[in-house]
Amino acid sequence: MRKKFVRGIVYLPLILLAGIICFPVLFAATGVFMQQWELEDYLGPVLGGAEGVANWPLLPHAPTLQSLVELLMDSPQFFVMFWNSLKISLCILAGQTVFGVPAAWGLARFEFPGKQAVLLLYIMLMLMPFQVLMLPQYLVLDRFRLLDTHAAVILPAVFSTFPVFIMYRFFCGIPEAILEAARIDGAGHLQVFLRIGIPLGAAGIVSSGILGFLESWNMIEQPMTFLKTKSLWPLSLFLPEIGLEEAGMGFAAAFLMLVPALLLFLSGQEYLEQGIAAAALKE
Amino acid sequence: MKNGKLVRITAMFFALMLCFTILSRAADQLSVAVVQTERPQNRMIEHAVRTSGKIEQNQELAVTTLSDQRVTAIYVREGQRVAKGDLLFEIDTTLLEEQILNQQQEMEKQELQVKDSKSQKEVNAQQKANSQAQAAEQYSLSTRQAGVQLARAKQQLNDAKMKLKEFRESMDAGKAGTSNGIGTVDSDVEAALLQALEDKTNEYVAAQGELRTLEWEIENAVYTARQNAMAGVTAALTMEDKIYTGSADANLVAEERIFTGSAEPEVVSNADNVAAIADAEPEVVPDADNIATIADVEEPEIVPDIAEEDGVLADNIGAADFNLDFDLNMEIEDVMNSDAETDRGIVSETDDGIDNTNIGNTNIGNMNTGNTNTGNTNTGNTNTGNTNTGNTNTGNMSIGNMDTGAQIVPDGSEQPVSQEPTPEELAQLEQTVRESYSQKLQAAQKKVSDAEAAKEAAEAALMQYQQEQLAVADSANVQNAQQLVADLKTAQQAYEDAAIAANEAAVTSSRAVAIANVPDASNSSDRMSEISYEQMELTLEKLERLEKAKGKICAETDGLITKINIMTGEKTSDTTALLMADLAKGYRFTADITKEQQKYIGTNDPVKLTSGDGKQKLEDLPVESVAEDESDEGIYHVTVQIPEDTFEIGANVTMDFSKKSETYAVTVPLSALHLDEKQQPYVLVAEEYESIMGTEQRARKVSVTVLEQNESYAALADGVIGSEAEIIVQSDKAIDNGSRVRVAA
């Protein structure tokens, strides 16, 4: 009984904090069902220059699906961007899978001269923010004549160092004994990689994939810098285009944008937890 | 949550998104207008003008005849062609003959009337001349008679004096030396007394004359004032400043003179004053206000002054005199002559003044001078002179008008008194005039009575002296002396009476002369009768000409009858009998066009004419004229001369005309041209643009300047629209600037 009470005391602030953290999500969720005039009423002081202070009710006064319908039925632009985003994100994920997994395996499992230097370079590159890399990337892409194409966004992300680094840690965690056993059984390098490395490093791969997807789904700077043609823009650039007059549509768009990421997260949640747990166990 | 379920949800989500993608695109496409575009082209703008009009004759002739004639037959109908000389209609000759006879008789009457009025005029002239002569004769006779009587009375007076003197001398001689000194003294005393009496008598007579003149003057002034009030003062308004000033000067001079004159009755001194003032005359500032003031103050005295002047003039000419005579005494002849010379100078100067004043003065003023020359003038004439000046204008009128004159005259620019005065007003006016004179009249009357009293006093003094003398003298001589003194007194009185009578005669007869000289009203009845006669002659000539043609009226030229205003059996009126088109002058086509159309059609442009049924066509006919309608703005008349024997007069004909413009680089179909809310023309150009959806097309508004346009194309100014521009000429939906469009293949 006393234990329960203590637990309750511990939970209360946690629930409170969770509620605070969840509030923006609630904010977005209720906004979807508000009418345009209601949104203007609430957000006017912030966005439209009206007097007073912005406030936000927990439930809309006049719930409606108008914004959602409008977005879905009358905005082909939204879908263009949605599919663009999906295309970019999936391509990046695929690329990272194709190029990052072997790279991480190689770095984790092979000894070669200068390996430490390469690792150091990877870490340094990972630490560098996009703003630092933007110009060199731009120059390179320009030289390759890749500017204003999706490749300009996809290719740099494909060869990003972050997923390699995460996977490297996972591959490092595979016991050498298992690999040796496989070799003894006559497995070659490829077989060891495919049959032992990937299944055992799946948690890391999925983790990096989820993180990579979330990053690429939300990335703004790269498309903004490298894409000029509006028809190539991802969904992340749709929201900045929306003002107070289309606030309802903005909320609807934000809601729809959240759905794939949420679904993906939920799908990969198990692997993510496993990966984190594995990483923790290892040490 | 199961992974499989999540995957299904994800798949469903994406499927849903795909679905909505397709749906939204389909919905989007529905709102996009499908348009057709065209590139600007090189074209000429062709303007076609089509209008209908009528065929008209070039010239229309009016056939007229005398009015009030009965039409017996009409040989033509409307629309009929006639040749030159063809009989048009006929009128009744019997009625015509009757009219000619009437006209001749009327003319005879008129002729007689002309003769009558001519002879009447002659008779009137003769009568006028007779009466003038009669008046002049009467005047001359009466003045001469009065003069003779006066001279005779004077002679008797002198005789009486002489007798008394002789008697006294004989008495003195008989008295011996003792009383000799005393006798001489006595006779001297008596002579002085006699002289004093004579002077007083003369003064009395002069005062009498003045009073009479003044009375006549008042009557005259009243008459003049009435006349002026009746006639208004238009003449006064026409007077120029200069003239007015001149008259004012004359007034001023006259006034000065009369002022001195009233103080010193001697003409000689008057003359001096006048001369001096006349010299100073140019210095008088012609200020209207001053003059008015002077005139106001001094007017009442002006008239008698002028009278005096004229009297002096009369003296010079040698007519019977009353004024100067008394002033200077008859015996001092040479003095009188010298005075006369001075007077002449004065008179001529004053006359000049009067002339200046009376530039506008016509008959009476002139008559005055004329009379002066012939020697008929006298005191009376002086009055007529005044009448004249009073009658005429500004300055002089003010003299006659006295106070009332001040209202009417002083300023030449005063408003005219145009209203007819009422009898009350006239009476009032008369009263005013009389009042203005009353003081003067009283003064004159007083002067007369004073002079009489002085004269009587002088008589009494003389009588007393004579009585004393008689007391001293012998009783034998007393009776004799008394007799002589009584004779002298009688003679003296007779002389006085004669002088007054002469004065009166002169006044009365000069008035008769003035009346006789009033001109007759103009009479032009004889000339008017003559004119009527001439008019009748003309009418007769016309009637006779018509009769000569036996009442037939024929066409003077080839033509077409367009209108007939007469009816068989009815009488003709003043209006045109019939109208015919002059075929020799050709036909023309006329039509009305609008201002828009007028811009493209000009003189000598070839046009095509088509008859109403389309059967007859004439091409390449030059336009004769394009003129704007005088009354209806925006409507123009086009005239085209057409050859003979093509269209009938009155036919409806269509005119076609086309004019090609220069070649314009940018022409668009008229359907591409729109007008914005400010009525400025614009076109919509389809242009591609990058959007999220990819390359899309939308309409862009381009304001343009239309250089020229017709029913299907418009030429636009270069520069705004390139030759590659896709101009939207047709759309399946209403589109505006920024509308998304899709260019149809």
In CATH, what number is assigned to the domain containing residue A201? Answer: 1.10.3720.10
Q: Are residues A26 and A126 in the same domain?
A: no
Q: Which of B151, B139, B160, B353 is nearest to B250 (CA)?
A: B353
For testing contact with chain A, the best of B24, B28, B689 (most A CBs within 10 A): B24
A71 close to A253: Cβ distance less than 8 angstroms: yes
Q: How confident is the model at residue A105 (pLDDT cuts 50, 70, 90)?
A: very high
pLDDT bucket at A101, cuts 50 / 70 / 90: very high
Please report residues of A whose CB lies closer than 8 A to that of B691.
Answer: 77, 230-231
Residue B218, domain member (yes or no):
yes
Of B6, B13, B28, nearest to A76 by CB-CB distance is B28
Instruction: Determine which of A93-97, A154-158, B17-21, B342-346 has the lowest per-residue pLDDT on average.
Output: B342-346
Q: What is the mean pLDDT of residues B575-581?
A: 84
Collapsing DSSP to helix, strand or coil, B62 comes out as strand
Check CB contact of B127 with chain A, cutoff 8 Å: no
Kindly state whether residue B371 falls inside one of the protein's structural domains. Answer: yes
Q: A47-61, A138-152, B461-475: lowest mean pLDDT where?
A: B461-475
Q: Do A83 and B21 touch (CB under 8 A)?
A: yes
Q: What is the β-pairing status of strands B740-743 and B33-38? A: parallel
- Chain B hits for A73, Cβ within 8 Å: 20, 23-24, 27
Contacts of B68 (CB under 8 A, 6+ apart): B99, B571, B572
Q: Which of B448, B465, B483 is the last residue of a domain?
A: B448
Instruction: Say whether residue A274 is in contact with chain B using an 8 A CB cutoff.
Output: no
Please report which confidence band the pLDDT of residue A158 belongs to, taking 50, 70 and 90 as the band edges: very high
DSSP letters for A203-272 = HHHHHHHHHHHHHHHH--HHHHHH--SGGG--GGGTGGG--GGGHHHHHHHHHHHHHHHHHHHHHHHHHH
Single residue among A13, A37, A64 that ends a domain in this structure: A64
pLDDT at B554: 85
pLDDT in the model for residue B346: 39
- Nearest Cβ partner for A76 among B9, B14, B693: B693
Q: Does A78 touch chain B (CB under 8 A)?
A: yes
Q: Kindly state whether residues A7 and A146 are assigned to the same domain.
A: no
B734/chain A closest Cα distance in angstroms: 20
**Residue whose structure tokens are 């057409």:** B642
Q: Do A54 and A180 belong together in one domain?
A: no
Q: Do A194 and A264 sit in the same domain of this protein?
A: yes
Q: Which two tokens stand for residue A62?
A: 């006049």
SS3 content of chain A, % helix, strand, coil (to 5): 80, 0, 20
CA distance B676 to chain A (A): 28
Res. B177: pLDDT tops 50: no
Is A19 exposed, middle or buried (CB count within 10 Å of its CB: 0-12, 13-18, 19+)?
exposed
- pLDDT tens-digit readout, B387-435: 333 333 333 333 333 333 333 334 444 344 445 556 777 788 778 888 8
pLDDT at site B229: 73
Q: Are residues A178 and A267 in the same domain?
A: yes
pLDDT at B304 over 60: no
Nearest-Cα distance to chain A for B693, in Å, is 5
Contacts of B24 in chain A (CB under 8 A): 72-76, 78-79
Number of domains making up chain B: 2
Most B-contacting residue of A231, A232, A236 (CB-CB within 10 A), to test interface: A231
User: Which one-letter DSSP state was computed for residue B704?
Assistant: -
Residue B295 lies in a domain: yes
Which of A77, A260, A267 has its CB closest to that of B693? A77
- Judging contacts by C-beta atoms under 8 Å, the chain A residues touching residue B698 are none
Interface touch B24/A259, C-beta < 8 Å: no
Please count the residue pairs, one from chain A and one from chain B, whose beta carbons lie less than 8 angstroms apart: 63
- Asked if B6's CB is within 8 angstroms of A74's CB, the reply is no
Q: Identify the bridge partners of residue B702 per DSSP, sorted by sequence position.
A: B683
One domain, residues A37 and A95: no
Residue B598 forms part of a structural domain: no
pTM above 0.90, yes or no: no
Same structural domain for residues A188 and A92? yes
Give A259's contacts in chain B (Cβ within 8 Å). Answer: 13
Distance from CA of A110 to the nearest CA of B (A): 35
* Residue that is written with structure tokens 């003049």 in the block: B224
- Cross-chain CB nearest to B20 (options A73, A238, A260): A73
User: Count of domains in chain A?
Assistant: 2
A270 and chain B in contact, CB less than 8 A: yes
- Residue B244, number of CB atoms within 10 A of its CB: 25
- Boundary residue ending a domain (A64, A81, A110): A64
Q: Tell me if A80 and B694 make a contact (CB, 8 A cut-off).
A: yes
> Which residues does chain A have within 8 Å of residue B693's beta carbon, measured at their own beta carbons?
76-77, 80, 231
| Listed ranges B261-275, B323-337, B554-568; the one with the highest mean pLDDT | B554-568
| pLDDT value of position B185 | 52
Residue of A233, A258, A263 best to disrupt the B interface, most CBs of B under 10 A: A263
Q: A45 is in which domain, residue-wise?
A: 2-64
For residues A138 and A274, state if they share a domain: yes
Contact residues on chain B for A231, CB-CB shorter than 8 A: 690-695
Confidence at residue B472, expressed as pLDDT on a 0 to 100 scale: 67
B13 lies within 8 A of chain A by CB: yes
Q: Are residues A41 and A96 in the same domain?
A: no
The residue of chain A with its CA nearest to that of B3 is A267
Could you tell me if residue B168 is inside a domain?
no
Nearest CA in chain A to B10: A263
Q: Which residue has the higher pLDDT, B377 or A157?
A: A157
| Per-residue exposure over B487-505, b if at least 16 CB sit within 10 Å of its own CB, e if not | bbbebbebbbebbbbbbbb
The CA distance from B583 to B586, in Å, is 5
Whether chain A has a CB inside 8 Å of the CB on B28: the answer is yes
Whether residue B15 contacts residue B23, with contact meaning beta carbons closer than 8 Å, is answered with no
Judging contacts by C-beta atoms under 8 Å, the chain B residues touching residue A83 are: 21
Read off the tokens for A57.
């009710």
Q: What is the average pLDDT across B645-666? A: 81
* A19/A131 same-domain check: no
Angstrom CA distances, A109 to A180, A222, A274, A276, B467, stand at 12, 33, 21, 21, 200
pLDDT averaged over chain B?
Answer: 71
Same domain, A187 and A216: yes
What span, in angstroms and rounded, lies between the C-alpha atoms of A106 and A109?
A: 5
pLDDT tens per residue across span A191-246? 999 988 998 888 889 888 988 998 999 888 889 989 888 888 898 888 777 777 77
* Percent over 90 (pLDDT), chain B: 1
| Domain end marker among A30, A64, A98 | A64
Q: How far is B691 from chain A (nearest CA, A)?
A: 5
* CB < 8 Å to A266, chain B: 1, 6
Tell me which chain B residues have a C-beta less than 8 angstroms from the C-beta of A260: 10, 13-14
Question: Is the residue at B217 inside a domain?
Answer: yes
Q: Does A255 touch chain B (CB under 8 A)?
A: no
Cβ B153 vs Cβ B487: under 8 Å: no
Decide: B100 and B541 in contact? Cβ < 8 Å. no
Q: Hey, what are B159's tokens?
A: 């005789």
Q: What is the pLDDT of residues B189-206, one digit of tens each?
A: 777 887 888 888 888 888
**A76:B21 CB<8 A:** yes
A72, A81, A231 ranked by CB distance to B24: nearest: A72
Q: Band of the pLDDT at A1, cuts 50, 70, 90?
A: low
Q: Domain boundary residue among B448, B463, B480?
A: B448
The residue among A68, A71, A80 with the most chain B CBs within 10 A of its CB, best to mutate, is A80
- Percent of chain B past pLDDT 70, that is, above it, reads 70
A94 & A55 share domain: no
User: Helix, strand, or coil here: B183?
Assistant: helix
Answer yes or no: is B116 within a domain: no
Indicate yes or no: CB of A231 within 8 angstroms of CB of B692: yes
Q: Which residues contact B50 (CB under 8 A, 6 or more apart)?
A: B654, B655, B656, B657
Shortest distance between the Cα of B21 and any Cα of chain A, in A, equals 6
Give the count of beta carbons closer than 10 Å to the beta carbon of residue B301. Answer: 19
Looking at the complex, does the CB of residue A75 fall below 8 Å from at least one CB of chain B?
Answer: yes
- Whole-angstrom distance, CA of residue B213 vs CA of residue B508: 11
Instruction: Determine the residue type at B25.
Output: R
Of B448, B469, B485, which residue is a domain's last? B448
Work out the pLDDT band at B86, boundaries 50, 70, 90. Answer: confident
- From the candidates A65, A67, A68, A72, which should be mutated to test the interface with B, based on the most B CB atoms within 10 A? A72
**Rounded distance between C-alpha atoms, residue B308 and residue B186, angstroms:** 39
Residue B378 has pLDDT above 70, yes or no: no
In terms of residue numbers, what domain contains B323?
205-448
